[in-house]
Amino acid sequence: MDIQLEKNSSTEALIKIKLKETDYQSKLKEKLKSYSKQASIKGFRPGKVPISLIEKMYGKSIKVEEINKILVDSLKEYIQKNDIKIIGDPLPNYDKANEIDWDTQNEFDFEYQVGLIEEFECNLDVKIDKYQIEVEKKVLDEAIDELKRQYGKMTNPEVSEAGDSVFGTLSQASSEFSKDSLVEIDKVSDTLKKSFIGVKKDDVIKVNIQNLFVDEKTLEEVTGLTGEEAKALEGEFEFAVKNVNRVEPADLNQEFYDKVFGEGKVTSEEEFLKEYTKIYEENYDRESEYLLAHQLQDKILGETKLNVAEDFYKKWILATNEGIKAEDVEKDFEHYVRDLKWTLIKNKIAEDSDIKVEYADTVAYTKKMFQAQFGGMQLNDEMEKNMEVMANNYLQQNDGENYMNVFSQLRTEKIMDVLKEKANISMKKVSREEFDKQAKK
């Protein structure tokens, strides 16, 4: 067997394989012999079917099957032995393969197109800002007010005010529509909001249904209809008030602190504000880390010179993704190339930094994911054992897909840790508004 790599460019090449009869004859004979022992053909005892008959009946298909196996194994061995870095898998030249006369030929020429990965360098010493979002007093006060409402006491005043909700029957006589619903006054449109303020039990409010709320989703929720059904409503409706609901905000006291943080963990308003601010800071930091990772990716992609075998890559995408159309690949090809380059860069960083992910690492990472769902609570010995079993079971589900997802996520995190360690990162304090502007870029 003769295998040669012929480079067309630094990123594209052909692997040519010349197969002689001696390269496959012995394996073909073994396969024919095996078939003769297993074949069940009328007129012959089991295991006594002549090899010549098997060859006459099945020789061509067995020959094709065995040569294909040899080609797959030989390609893989050649690529690994010569450390040829390629994109995806080799693509066979089907036109050339279709010219083969399997009945008469004993020697064969095969050709495979490959996309080569160029040697490249990554400059990880990049300068970048990490945005530290300042927790603004106004935002914190609004969040605490909402929390006080959440843990507040429900009352039923006689007359409604802004911020209340009104329970009653929404109806229209002409369409025979009728439904008991809760209307939150703050969600009512500005043009009709005054109609819901100052009302009491048994009052009837007349409204134009499509002008009732600020957004369509609220109308769907209140009417209990789908989007299209809610849009079809028209004309004047009546809302007959049955009850006014008001939430009296909770006081900042020990009962409130215990409900929010757990019994005895916070014992004063000062401690409460400190702990609640810490939650905001941690949430903001996660957002900041997420943005930093994306901006690092953009920075390194922009500064890394890496050519891609684009023609080959388009063919490979179409060959390996059933149902995808060439026009779709052309439309999104910039994103395909970006994802490929980032994958190649990550692989190089992992190789250069000797990053490895063992199975024990994936188990520990999965347990950490599960523990986060329990609010990060500390686990006793029995719970720890149960968590270990849960993690292993999860990783083995979905035919290994769960394991590969966790493996990929953990490996990416380790790679990002290396990037953050090597990059020149400056902390920059910004407002929430400024951070959102940076995130939208």
- Domain with residue 187: its CATH number is 3.10.50
Same domain for 312 and 367? yes
Residue 170 within a domain: yes
Same domain for 275 and 422? yes
Cα 221 from Cα 215, distance rounded (Å) = 11
Residue 262 within a domain: no
Q: Which tens digit of pLDDT belongs to each residue from 159-200?
A: 999 999 999 999 999 999 999 999 999 999 999 999 999 999
- 36 contacts 50 by C-beta, under 8 angstroms: yes
- Domain with residue 47: its CATH number is 3.30.70.1050
Q: Is 224 left (phi over 0), alpha (psi -120 to 50) or beta?
A: left
Residue 358 within a domain: yes
Same domain for 400 and 317? yes
Residue 130 is encoded by which pair of tokens?
């990490």
- 333 contacts 311 by C-beta, under 8 angstroms: no
Candidates 191, 167, 145; CA nearest to 246 is 167
Residue 12 within a domain: yes
- Domain with residue 428: its CATH number is 1.10.3120
Domain encompassing residue 199? 153-248
Residue 131 within a domain: no
Q: Which tens digit of pLDDT belongs to each residue from 261-302?
A: 888 999 999 999 999 999 999 999 999 999 999 999 999 999
Count of domains for the chain: 3
Cα 209 from Cα 211, distance rounded (Å) = 5
Candidates 271, 279, 289, 231; CA nearest to 376 is 279
Same domain for 407 and 280? yes
- 207 contacts 250 by C-beta, under 8 angstroms: no
Cβ-Cβ contacts under 8 Å for 157 (sequence gap 6 or more) = 164, 244, 246
Q: Of 1-5, 33-37, 315-319, 388-392, which gets the smallest average pLDDT? A: 33-37
For residue 260, count other CB atoms closer than 10 A to its CB: 19
Same domain for 103 and 244? no
pTM: predicted TM-score of the whole model, two decimal places = 0.74
Same domain for 195 and 274? no
φ/ψ (deg, to 5) at 79:
-65, -45
Q: Which tens digit of pLDDT belongs to each residue from 350-371?
A: 999 999 999 999 999 999 888 8
Of 198, 215, 248, the domain-final residue:
248
Q: Which tens digit of pLDDT belongs to each residue from 319-358?
A: 999 889 999 999 999 999 999 999 999 999 999 999 999 9
Residues in the chain: 441
Give the confidence band of 38 by pLDDT, cuts at 50, 70, 90.
confident
Same domain for 181 and 217? yes
Same domain for 288 and 429? yes
% of residues, the chain, pLDDT over 90: 81
Q: What is the mean pLDDT of the chain?
A: 92
- 93 contacts 109 by C-beta, under 8 angstroms: no
- 213 contacts 252 by C-beta, under 8 angstroms: no
Same domain for 233 and 332? no
